[in-house]
Amino acid sequence: MRSPKTPTVCGTKRFVDLRGARLDGLRPSLSCRPATTRRGQRRGAPRGGESCRPPCANGAMTPEIRTSIDGVRLALALAVITCAVATSTAAAALSPPIIREPWTPLPCPAHAVSTVDLEGCLEKAIRRTDRQIDARVAKIFHRLRSSSDRRAFVRGERSWLQYRRSSCSAEASVYHGGSAEPVAFLTCEKRRNAGTSPTFKTWSESSARVDHRAVAENFGPP
């Protein structure tokens, strides 16, 4: 009498294939696990004509595995985005500050007559001095060697810009609601920009006069 064939565990091949590349320790569950007795007789066979099939029939993924893969992809995407944002933020913090005016410049005619013409010419002058300040700030920034000094310098320049705008806004408020208010505000900002020139010149000259060799001999290298 020929003994019945020893049944194979359904889905074994699929299980082995996925086991080597499983995510988060997940393994596909088997829809049935027929076993054999000592005599080779089958035990625990499916009932009611149920077939013994692997959970991933025709190569399709189970919902659990697909959910796990989607979760890993999302986590990797978030990690890349976070790293990129952190890198760009750090780079921006260590770059020379640049003045960006919140207004759109008006045209400046050759002969200013109205208050709008005066605004346009004042804005033109402010933008010109802004670029001059940016150039001097960049020179000072690149002379600073440590990151902490550069960050402190950037914070100081941003504080000065906030002071310029706030103080000029307060000064022009005496003409609140009138056509002279924007002219007074821009005139103040132009004056504030011009006042920074002596400060930058003094800083650059004093830095150039420093005997770095003597400083290094007495206090160590910078």
- 39 burial (CB, 10 Å; 0-12 / 13-18 / 19+) is exposed
The two structure tokens encoding residue 166: 């706030």
Task: Give me the CATH number covering residue 137.
Answer: 1.20.1270
Query: Are 26 and 71 within one domain?
Result: yes
Do the domain assignments include residue 16? yes
Residue after which a domain boundary falls, among 63, 91, 119: 91
Residue at which a domain ends, from 45, 65, 91: 91
Cα 68 from Cα 135, distance rounded (Å)? 53
Whether residue 130 is found in the same domain as residue 41: no
145 pLDDT higher than 60: yes
- In angstroms, the CA 219 to CA 222 distance is 8
Q: How many CB atoms lie within 10 A of CB 7?
A: 15
Q: What are phi and psi of 35, to 5 degrees?
A: -125, 175
For the segment 51-76, what is each residue's pLDDT rounded down to a tens digit?
A: 555 554 455 567 767 777 777 777 87
Q: How far apart are CA 212 and CA 216, in angstroms?
A: 6
3: in domain: no
Residues 78 and 147 in one domain: no
Q: Which tens digit of pLDDT belongs to each residue from 96-128?
A: 999 999 999 999 999 999 999 999 999 999 999
Helix (H) / strand (E) element for 43: namely strand 42-43
Same domain, 60 and 30: yes
What is the DSSP secondary structure assignment for residue 222, as one 8-state letter?
Answer: -
pTM of the model: 0.53
Domain with 139 in it: 96-217
* 71-99 pLDDT per residue, tens: 777 787 778 787 665 555 554 558 999 99
Q: Are residues 40 and 65 in the same domain?
A: yes
Q: Are residues 35 and 103 in the same domain?
A: no
Residue whose tokens read 């002071």: 163
Residues with Cβ within 8 Å of residue 79, at least 6 apart in sequence: none
How much of the chain, in percent, has pLDDT values that exceed 90? 45
Number of domains in the chain: 2
Both 141 and 43 in a single domain?
Answer: no
The pLDDT, as a whole number, for residue 43 is: 52
Helix axes 180-209 and 147-172, enclosed angle (nearest 10):
150
- 194 occurs within a structural domain: yes
Give the residue from 37, 57, 91 where a domain finishes: 91
